[in-house]
Amino acid sequence: MVFIRRASDLALAIPLLLACGGGDPSTQPEHSGAAEHRQAGAGQEEEAEHHEDQYDPTQVQQEAVPNSEFWYGLDVYNPTEIHLQQAEEARALAEQHRAAAASLESYEEQECARFPAETRASCPILGQVATVTDVPGGVRLEIKEGVRGDAVADHMRCHVAYAATEGREGMDRCPLYVRGAKVESGDSIVLTTDAGVEAVAELRRRARLHADDGHDHDH
């Protein structure tokens, strides 16, 4: 099972998870939230059982093999054996989905260890940002005077993990829900994404929207 510490670790974990079980993109942790991964895993288990039910060890047939050096066949075969292979493939996908869900949940628990469940769901930059400046890959956020920037940055990292675990469906305002979002902090907070040009533009748009109004309703 793969456990993840930060957003960069999440990206590194994706190839490992794929290598462990066939490479279906839908099993990547960032493809969907933990609940969706578990649901997909359950669906794959049902599919595996369906294929196993179709396997009949008594269905043995004779196969006519062409008289040619380019043909290699078995004298006897079972046409339902393919269902055993399909069941095995479905179970492998189910395991990948479960591993993805567990990775997301572990990632959230590590990033949010100091934050109770009700705090994790709240947007940490709502009303806290004074200015937004573009930087390569995203934005620099200057926090309002009197607000602890380190606390805001830690909460932002937690919220990124929470967003990955819960899924991004319908969350179209908070910049921390943009795919690939990651937080760096020092004198200021830098929020970036490595998910492509469109993701960067969307992150910048949402960050400015967040700074401009104090009424974001995303969680």
Bridging pattern class, strands 76-77 and 138-143:
unpaired
| Residue 135 banded pLDDT, cuts 50, 70, 90 | very high
Specify which of 11-20, 33-42, 138-147 reaches the highest per-range mean pLDDT.
138-147
Same domain for 19 and 100, yes or no, is: yes
Same domain for 148 and 103, yes or no, is: no
Count of structural domains, the chain: 2
- Can you give the residue range of the structural domain that contains 99? 7-54+82-111
Same domain for 139 and 196, yes or no, is: yes
Same domain for 92 and 151, yes or no, is: no
Same domain for 181 and 144, yes or no, is: yes
Same domain for 141 and 101, yes or no, is: no
**Residue range 40-97, pLDDT digits in tens:** 888 888 988 898 888 888 887 665 556 655 554 555 677 888 898 999 999 999 988 8
Q: What is the mean pLDDT of residues 98-119?
A: 80
| Residue 106 banded pLDDT, cuts 50, 70, 90 | confident
The pLDDT of residue 12 is: 40
The pLDDT of residue 18 is: 37
Same domain for 171 and 203, yes or no, is: yes
pLDDT at 6 over 80: no
Whether residue 47 lies inside any domain: the answer is yes
Better pLDDT: 203 or 21:
203
